[in-house]
Amino acid sequence: MEVKIGVQFAPRELVMESAQSPAEIEQIVTDAIAGEGTLSLTDEKGRRIIVPVNKLAYVEIAEASPRAVGFTVR
């Protein structure tokens, strides 16, 4: 899964790849917002991203799409 996190007053979004399902990620985000603490997610390489909930602008959850390399015809 590809997860994009928008942070208030930050010019760029945080992008990470997660091995968790969309439902699991949605539940983690929902619980973090309800608890009014921090959103903590771990990517495929074990790196942890922690964002204060009051600074979240949005969280986008999408299927990771394979990137085309070289010249391809569609």
Has residue 4 got a pLDDT over 70? yes
- pLDDT tens for 28-56 read 999 999 998 899 999 999 999 999 999 99
> Going by DSSP bridges, is the β-strand pair 56-62/48-52 parallel, antiparallel, or unpaired?
unpaired
Are 27 and 21 in contact by the 8 Å Cβ rule? The answer is: no
Count other Cβ atoms within 10 Å, centred on residue 41.
20
Does the pTM of the predicted model rise above 0.75? yes
How far, in Å, CA of 55 to CA of 45, rounded? 25
